[in-house]
Structure 1
């Protein structure tokens, strides 16, 4: 596959490059419409000889053409017989059977041919393009053949040739594209002297590059079936003021309907911010304090007292490392904040992925008794290890219906803690997302199968608020009693109190003035009515504020009572993108610190109760369920065409591919079957993440070594009925970026994003290209680094059970289990199902993840589900039993002798040493 306008540096590199990606024996993988029975053909021949020898060779060529059935269009021309004697004659035109047209080249005197379907309807406007296939000489070694391909392309572009997208180059032996009709005949002239001609060529022959200068480069040209060429793709123009913002955030800014909508964003700072949160709060308070609330049309909103309503002001909801989660009153405030010098990037929060899905109709979950017996947990139950006295958290995005199951599937000591309330200024839980199937209740039920007597706390978090997990850990470790979000709610209450006090003073003043005048005229009476209504409204708001304060106090009290004393945390959510992979995310590193705690920084005297170390926290994490939506591996560009190959040259091409530069997408339905076409209306996000070292001379995020551009191609005719199946049109392209996720002095983690909505059903392919790279002053100064990207496809429009977009050509199960399952401090749980992901990430392929495997399904109350999330719930219950039994450390499975990388089965030796629980 080629791309228009490769840099000259790539040409030089190709001369010394390794093996060029090609197909064995140039096997055709492209479906093409059959040629017409007859074709119109132009033959360019050459006979350089004296008169008699020319006649002899001309007669020999005529016999060859006549034997093939060539019909000369000029045979009735009186001057036609003069060609045999004219040394300058070199063209023949006529018709021939399409099956024999290429056999014309068997005669050594035939230099080139150009043919088209018989009666081809050329456009009336000779400036209009005609689709052509240009086939080159193919007697060169692969690397040199690619150089010739590029040199011919450069020459053709002088005629206005527009190269096609994504076509099959057949080992760089053909070009496809459109050329203006007025230049069509010149394709079977000697391109080395064109476009000026042989008499005064643009470039003298001794200055032409090799191998272009060595021999006639073009062998034959075919005019392809007429089809309206797709219009050139017009990429989004990113204003400089929004260059730090990701596409989803730019879409919010461009939407007039969201002009006054509060917006929560994730901000990456150049320096760590978690130790300077109060400084950041002060900056937000001073620059983004409460302002007048407006509707989408910009009109002021007023309360029942007639006074303008105020917004809440910007608030800090969480901070970790260089990242901060900030809520702004409106998108315009985000754009203003992004202009600060220490802000590197701004984006919308990335939603966590669910790790369990409903079992399709007809499927059946494994029986609970069978699972308990197979995992050895039944033996622990017989000894009395049922989780009694151990507090365990199950973290999920939704626990609908859990309250009704307490005591009937869930332990009697079960409570629900909804932490989405701390993100809302009114301190009320967020409504359930109808487009999201939260499986937290199913995981909790699976945990209850293994630990029926545990003290269970179901913690609901916002799936886009990864910072809430930090707040949970800090409370459990007694490092804080208020999360960053709760501190912001205190600020909101303070601002609301100030606003209400101001309004109350104004209303009371008006009330006194109105009732000082007890006249009976209508204007005076109306004034008294308005004053009383305004006072009643303020008093009602005062009651609402009091209720908000009560909700705040109750939530903070519930958080402390629910979280303190936790021994096991079961997390069913994981993140595929938006945060650094390879265990570099702040959450993954925090879990590793908890697994190996550092000695206390404050020395306490002997006997001090606070000197006793806190018990370790066991974090049981669900592995990714992304499966075929993920690809990962090295960034290969062996043929130096500025496009990444998804597989090395030694790996056979998939059936649907003619190039390793493309990864075709498909749509996986609820039953697991994958269709080749993406449905219309599907909204898809493609995210590519990689890590590269910083430039030691210019450390920063504005000079990536891999300025990646993601492109989406659509097959115009996959079956090749009207046009060849390798005819492609560009439907989407990443605009802006790459966007930094993590910046240190030694390395940067980048992410490139492309979002698109499928306009019409069809077959689509992803192409990863390298964008513009500034030229180095000297070749030795050019940076050359190796990166291992990970690409994930996320279907944003799919509702529960509707399917998802996946890769069809290339997938990489070893691309990693997601975040924070890549952490050594997390006990990552997977399921023994083909296609499930493993490994720590593209840069940690040898990390043994998942740590253990659990049952893919367990029969519990409610709809039957399966996947890593359910397995994590069950294995989390096993962990509760191990903690109750006294298994030491943050990894009780290791202490109990579980075999890593295998099914979670309680070892017989561990059961033998357990003593039965004696109940009082």
Structure 2
């Protein structure tokens, strides 16, 4: 019945579509609404013009193609939650080679007569797959030498099923392999001999083996349940993998095979493979000792180290022997017996079944090796951006720079012990303020590493700026209509509220807006803003001259703070409005505003620093004034007209003028300081404070850990208590954020987090989440609300940030001498991948990706308390000309226990779930104003 109703609902759309003129079809991914079945939804979507591609699973993702009109109709369907639109479908399908040049290695264990028969049987199977063999050696059917030929692409799967085949090397016809160690892009299919339960063990062992040959893995590819590898191998090692040995001599051992222990339940004599068991060979001591050992080795015997001994009148050989030659070994002359040690069997496996060479576009290069953590004392505590800055300007620059110092712990309001670590370098670090564990101040580059070596210092970084809200162009007729939601500060996770209901109603109604940009507010005073509107600028405290921060942006524009104020006054009018301007790089100012609202004044470290500078300057001026008075008496009492007397008088008068100018400047600074301190009185008894800034980068943003009242309530001893005196409201972007938050799961143990279940992932890899682009509605976006674009726009700068909290052992946290948890237990890493051929124009597989960015080895610990610590990493990239399709991968593993690395833990030691938070944002202002990056899969945002 539901299907019939849906059909009737969209009949009009269907009729319009079938009569529309032909349009170019685009590749689309259609994500079904929760609870919808693909089997039921597909027929309805097909009636709307959707053309599926491939087989349809029972998941929530349908892949296919559709025209622009069809996309519009699909977006109107209640069956659909999102449509990710790709490029126009290429006229020609993905390029595939017509045939391959093939080299095959096989192994037939038989006598000469049977070997020839089995060779012909194998050759018949190969020919059935379309294989045309090149002319080989004379009597090649008697030997196990590799054979070569050509094979149509359609016959690859059948060829790999041929009996006795060990490894096949497939090179597309017309492709010439490079010389030497030039990397070649290849896809390797692994044998499935170990079975499903041990396939990953085989893959890991194969990777370790290939690494010795120069293997470079391709990130993000689909390993197909650990049966496939994708990456680069030196051209001169392809033959080694084919022959399963690095030695070139015909007699050299196949040392590129893998030994896997057989399960204890398996009978080694029932396994159809190359199985070896540990044996003890007892023989008669004769002069034919060497001949006997040679005979055993021809049967595959591998002597153990120091495996020879003599017991009485008999000799002993110990080592490994294939089960299939055990009977023949017992029949050798001189052998008394061969004893098998139970439970010691191994199977020797040739892991690589097929190697396919994948031609790459000219100029392609393998990814660079990932950066390792720096080992220099203190250096590992410096953020990458700070290290880069020091490398550019040099460490001997005398001018102090502003940094943020993250402390090892969070001091209480009256705890001053933290100063011993960061203030011992008196004169080197000028502290401006502290919020929680974050200290902002000025430090000379020469002292940064010394500061980093302090035990209480967790990390040092450049200031992290609050992100401004993205607002549409100003419409004076609709000042209250902003794409912004509002919520009580610190309770954003509980949902947003109606702005009209959030302000505290009390007469007289005094409201405030806290932001960094109040351009153009004066023109609205009395015309949208109350007549009693004043601007309080607290940014001068960061300047030794007590000058306000310069205005950024068009001077004639309307700042975000002004627009929030207009929206607040249009929704909840007030008798008086206070515009509070603070610096977006100074989150400690937020706490000072709280102090001011509570009537406790503005007492930041920066204010104390400016006061101290004025006091010292006042002393210098007093001293200089006294000196000038004495100098004045001497000069004016000298009435001589000689050149020296005139020069002395001129020098004095110039010195006096310079002094007067400095004194006037000092008095102006003094006046600005008094204004700065006294204006905080206007903050007292505010009813409502609307905050337009959000600090996220470098700050705890996990649910329940935001800046909010987490640190602002510390002075009352309860960080979770709501702030008194006023209603504190946070402005939150209404636009959908590219955010994923869920439990870290890695069900296939491939050291990469699963974003989706296999059903939700559809045809994608479940350890990738793809990014998409959604233009802002006010920026000329004509696409329906449900539509996003798979390719990101050229020039956009995107930042991915990952934050997670770990549970740690309180016992080890008490060790003040060593910081056991400076590095996380979970060594997570962000990898940004770009699909190399999203349009299907080359022979590259769809899961071939280019690494465009990685998070550095440095991890920022943004918060640390008695039982937990919060860590953050980030990666940034710019979309090149032509755009592209991108995905995010989180590599690593969840911690096995709460104890520090290297500490012995019990098998059932305490563990805690890891719930990382992934956030993506547009960094460059131009593209930030045009649209936003979102997650292509709507269900990826929650799990």
Q: Same fold (TM over 0.5)?
A: yes
Q: 1:240 to 1:408 in 2, by over 3 A?
A: same
Task: Structure 2: give runs of 5+ residues left out of the alignment.
Answer: 1-55, 65-89, 264-272, 274-345, 486-496, 814-818
Partner in structure 1 of residue 921 of structure 2: 794
The residue number in structure 1 matching 2:357 is 223
Q: Determine the structure 2 residue equivalent to 1:539.
A: 660
Aligned counterparts of 1:811 and 1:512: Cα–Cα separation in 2: 83
Partner residue of 1:860? none
Among 647, 650, 661, the alignment partner of 2:767 is 661
Counterpart CA distance in 2 for 1:440 and 1:94 is 73
Corresponding residue to 1:749 among 853, 870, 876: 870
Instruction: Name which of structure 1's ranges 395-404 and 431-440 shifts more when overlaid on structure 2.
Output: 431-440
Partner of 1:72: 133
Structure-1-length-normalised TM-score? 0.70
- Please say if 1:477 is aligned against 2:606: no
Aligned residues of 1:169 and 1:175 also touching (Cα < 8 A): yes
Query: Could you say which residue in structure 2 is the equivalent of 1:256?
Result: 393
Is the Cα–Cα contact under 8 Å of residues 676 and 763 in structure 1 kept in the other structure?
A: yes
Q: Conserved in 1, the CA contact under 8 Å of 2:752 and 2:891?
A: yes
1:83 equivalenced with 2:83 (yes/no): no
Name the SS for the 2:760 alignment partner. coil
Q: SS of the counterpart of 1:240?
A: coil
1:557–1:696 distance in 2 versus 1, CA, 3 Å: closer
Structure 1 gaps of 5+ residues are 1-22, 290-312, 601-613, 816-844, 846-920
- Match among 749, 754, 760 for residue 645 of structure 1: 754
Q: State the SS of the aligned residue for 2:747.
A: coil
Q: 1:680 Cα deviation (Å)?
A: 5.6
After TM superposition, list the pairs within 5 Å mapping 1:174-253 onto structure 2: 174-189=228-243, 200=253, 213=347, 215-227=349-361, 228-230=364-366, 232-233=368-369, 235=371, 238=374, 239-253=376-390
- Aligned equivalent of 2:334: none
455 and 109 in structure 1: CA distance in 2 versus 1, 3 angstrom threshold: same
Residue 808 (structure 1) aligns with: 935
Equivalent position SS for 1:788: coil
Q: Pick one of 92, 95, 98 that aligns with 2:147.
A: 92
Give 3-state SS (helix, strand or coil) of 1:714's partner.
strand
1:858 corresponds in structure 2 to none
Match of 1:102 among 147, 157, 171: 157
Shift of 1:248: 2.7
How far off is 1:424 after superposition? 2.5
- Please give the alpha-carbon distance, in whole angstroms, between the structure 2 residues aligned to 1:537 and 1:229: 64
| CA shift for structure 1 position 175 | 1.3
Q: Secondary structure at the match of 2:157?
A: helix
Deviation at residue 545 of structure 1 after TM alignment: 0.7
Q: Structure 1 residues 707, 48: closer, same or farther in 2, change over 3 A?
A: closer
Deviation at 1:94, TM superposition (A): 1.6
Which residue of structure 1 lines up, in the alignment, with residue 456 of structure 2?
Answer: 342
One of 111, 119, 122 as aligned partner of 2:177 = 122
Match of 2:697 among 547, 561, 577: 577
Identify the match of residue 619 of structure 1 among 713, 728, 732: 728
- Equivalent residue, structure 2, for 1:310: none
Q: Does the Cα contact within 8 Å between 2:772 and 2:934 map onto a contact in 1?
A: yes
8 A contact 1:277–1:319 mirrored in 2: no
Maintained 8 Å contact 1:644/1:767: yes
1:820-899 correspondence runs (5 A): none
Cα distance in 1, alignment partners of residues 476 and 229 from structure 2: 51
CA apart distance, 1:810:
5.0
Aligned CA-pair RMSD: 4.5
SS of residue in 1 equivalent to 2:925: coil
Alignment check: 8 A CA contact 1:714 1:731 kept: yes
Is 1:443–1:572's contact at 8 Å kept on the other side of the alignment?
Answer: yes
Looking at structure 1, the residues matched to 582 and 917 of structure 2 have their Cα atoms a distance apart, in angstroms, of 27
SS in structure 2 of the partner of residue 463 of structure 1: coil
Q: Match of 2:584, SS? A: coil
TM-aligned CA deviation for residue 149 of structure 1: 1.6
Report how far residue 544 of structure 1 moved. 0.8
Q: Which residue of the other structure, out of 209, 221, 225, is the alignment partner of 1:167? A: 221
Candidates 424, 437, 459, aligned match of 1:322? 437
Partner SS state of residue 804, structure 2 = strand
Q: Are 2:776 and 1:636 equivalent residues in the alignment?
A: no
- The change in CA–CA distance for 1:162 and 1:753 in structure 2 (over 3 A counts) is closer
Cα 1:236–1:746 shift into 2, 3 Å: closer
- The answer as to 2:97 corresponding to 1:40 is no
CA distance in 2, matches of 1:204, 1:813: 40
Deviation (angstroms), 1:135: 0.8
Measure how far apart 1:174 and its partner are. 1.3
Change in Cα spacing, 1:736 to 1:111, as seen in structure 2 (3 Å) is: closer
Partner of 2:204: 150
Q: CA deviation at 1:430?
A: 1.1
CA-CA distance at 1:104 after TM superposition: 2.4
CA displacement at 1:288 relative to structure 2: 3.9
Per-residue CA shift, 1:261-288, capped at 9, x if unaligned?
5433332334544545877779878744
Are residue 429 (structure 1) and residue 567 (structure 2) matched?
Answer: no
Q: Which residue of 2 aligns with 1:763?
A: 885
Please state whether the residue corresponding to 1:566 is helix, strand or coil.
Answer: coil
Shift in alpha-carbon separation, 1:129–1:37, aligned structure 2, 3 A = same
Q: Confirm or deny: 8 A CA contact 2:99 2:153 kept in the other structure.
A: yes
Contact 2:920 2:933 in 1 (8 A): yes
* Aligned counterparts of 1:272 and 1:42: Cα–Cα separation in 2: 65
Q: Structure 1 pair 229/363, CA: closer, same or farther in 2 (3 Å)? A: farther
Change (3 A) 1:324 1:64: closer
Q: Which has the higher strand share?
A: 2
Alignment partners' CA distance in 2, 1:618 and 1:703: 39
Determine if contact 2:860/2:871 at 8 Å carries over to the other structure.
yes
Mapped to 2, the partners of 1:720 and 1:380 lie a distance apart of 53
Alignment equivalent of 1:411, drawn from 527, 530, 551: 530
User: Is 2:563 aligned against 1:449?
Assistant: no
- Paired residues, number: 736
Distance of 2:399 and 2:62 partners within structure 1: 54
Give SS of 1:556's match: helix
- Distance across 1 between alignment mates of 2:561 and 2:400: 28
Instruction: Give the superposition deviation at 1:543.
Output: 0.7
Distance 1:361 1:619 in 2: 27
Question: Is the deviation greater in 54-63 or in 237-246?
Answer: 54-63
Aligned-pair CA distance for 1:493: 1.3
| Aligned-partner Cα distance in 1 for 2:403–2:510 | 33
Secondary structure at the aligned position of 1:692 is classed as strand
1:96 CA drift (Å):
2.8
Measured after TM superposition, the shift of residue 556 of structure 1 is 2.4
In terms of mean alpha carbon deviation, does 702-711 or 460-469 score higher?
A: 702-711
The equivalent residue for 1:849 is: none
State the shift of 1:141 in Å.
5.3
CA distance in 1, matches of 2:890, 2:500: 51
Distance 1:804-1:635 versus aligned 2 partners, 3 A rule: farther
**Is residue 134–residue 174 contact of structure 1 (8 Å, CA) maintained in 2?**
yes
CA distance in 2, matches of 1:150, 1:206: 12
In the TM superposition, residue 201 of structure 1 has moved relative to its aligned partner by 5.5
Shift in Å, 1:29: 10
Give me the whole-angstrom Cα distance separating, in 2, the residues matched to 1:278 and 1:639: 49
Q: CA deviation at 1:633?
A: 1.3
SS of the residue corresponding to residue 737 of structure 2 reads: helix
Per the alignment, do residues 565 and 128 of structure 1 end up closer, same or farther by CA in structure 2, a change over 3 Å counting?
closer
What SS does structure 1 have at the residue aligned with 2:837? coil
More moved, 722-731 vs 470-479 = 722-731
Change (3 A) 1:725 1:496: farther
Deviation at 1:418, TM superposition (A): 1.5
Between the aligned partners of 1:616 and 1:171, the Cα distance in structure 2 is: 59
Report the Cα distance in structure 1 between the residues aligned to 2:838 and 2:582, rounded to whole angstroms. 44
Residue from 685, 688, 692 that aligns with 1:565: 685
